[in-house]
Chain A
Amino acid sequence: MGSGPDVGAAELAAQQLVDATAWLLGREGRERADRTLTRRGLPHSSMDVDDLCSAALLRLTVRFGNGPIELTHGDDSVRAYATTVLRSLTTRLVDGGARQRLQELVDWSEQVAPAVESDDDRIDDEVAAGDAVDIVRRRALDAIDGRVQAWTVAAGLATVTIAAGEVQVMDGIRVPAREADVARWAGLAYAGRTDCFDEPEDGAVRERRAQALHRVADLLTRLLDPHAAST
């Protein structure tokens, strides 16, 4: 996929995911999940433990898709990381994600410049190829943070759905003549960015739309190739 990670890092990340999964679904991981729930006074039936382990597995899959973790605790690093994920997910159960939202509010900056060089044609090619659509969808929600706002992810999801050639956009959505841009423009509309289509369309509106399109392309590039977004 694209420039991609170096093979060594990708293999290491894949192995770490295998190790983390084995630990999490094994006796020790499930006991840890049970203990984490118990310590917070939360229900900890077998089904509750299953839920927590499933959520942790999903997060680990996304995380290791971005590359390997640092081995700060030697051979125990993967287990320690998985334990941290269990704890953080349990904290979210009792705090509703407030800490993450606070960090997003503090980090938010309108001036954030795209950190990666997006390549619209490449995104189109990869989306048309098929697998990329699921990759984008699987990683999409985790991308929302202080720099990537929800509308960007909403636009990205709509863009890949339309670009994959699966559906027609609603009547009434304004799209450009250039076929290759239809999905991107419609993606903005479905994400509620009505300000990108204000009438009369002056230079400010066009500039706003161009910036919004750039942010969505940047997001898709990051989702398809997380290693390109290390900056």
Chain B
Amino acid sequence: MRLRIAVHALDRTGPPVLAMSFVRWMSRLHPEVDLEVVSLRGGPLIDDVVRLADAMVVLDPDEPWDISDPDRPRHDEARRRLDELPTPDATLLVSVAAGQLLPVMERTGTLVTWVVEQGHDLHWIDEPTGLRERTDTWLAGSASSHAEVSGRLDGPVRLVPEFVDDREPVDARIRRRCRAALDVADDELLVIGAGIATRRKAPDLFMQTCIAARRRRERALFLWIGGQRDELHWPVRDDAKRVGLSRFRTMESVTDLHHWLGAADVFLHTARLDAFPLVCLHSAIAGTPVVAFRGAGGTTEMFAESFVGADYPDLGGLADLVHSMATPSVRDRVSREQSERVRSTYVTDVCAPALLESLIGPQAAAP
């Protein structure tokens, strides 16, 4: 049995991280399956991939690529390399953006596309990649993605939830070191947001919630992790500087977010739209309560009864909820409820079997 996992990049964004969780689970529970990971672009996760599976990267991380008019020598070279690989029994495209690989990937076996996007990002379905025509099975990673993609496709779409790996709680010493590194006092809240710095992920709203918190005289450090090379990184930093926000900081994307999330008192997710933000699952696993906008993607579905948030665009409401987490009993209760919800519903051991079954059928997927 040979499975191919295809992603659009090997950066630390949602789809590649999700793919890696599945690869790790397969390596652990199904070592008999030959796994290969094919990525359109490279990125820092390549190091994790090669420890667990065969790997092939088509383009360098920032190499220009026009799907409608690709660089012909690079296209032909990628096609030749993929043709030389054994034909897999099935190929899983993790995100519709991975469909960009299809023009150079002729043999896929059963092609399964797992839609983990929402909104504008779904445009890849209708780009000239062959994705719509060649996909045998459509999956959706969340109810919100499912609802949106079902309206755009003729055939059935099966809901297979996205997931993250369960982790041990963050060691208290490491937690202390993280907070000390950021100069966070014991009686100060550490509020973390993370993601690429685009309008959709909204680091601007994260920073403006910091303004609202300051207005409420909240003692808190707001830290945004990631997105240094994205369009809103410097504009948001400029805003913070102009406003005089001494307790707003940014940090480069880190190898392992787990202990930083564990060091935080609140994970504040201010995205305008996010289909099913894995970083919120990671945060719940790390024991840090998540506060987010209601109706801005999958967080309400993710946490169900344990969801804590405000209507978009109520930044004052978010700031009030952040403040509520300064009360240990409130923080502990929310953290416990959200962790329980995620551990019972969205961790790899719970969800990955359904994904494998979608790829190779129930008989073959049986343990």
Do A and B come from the same complex? no
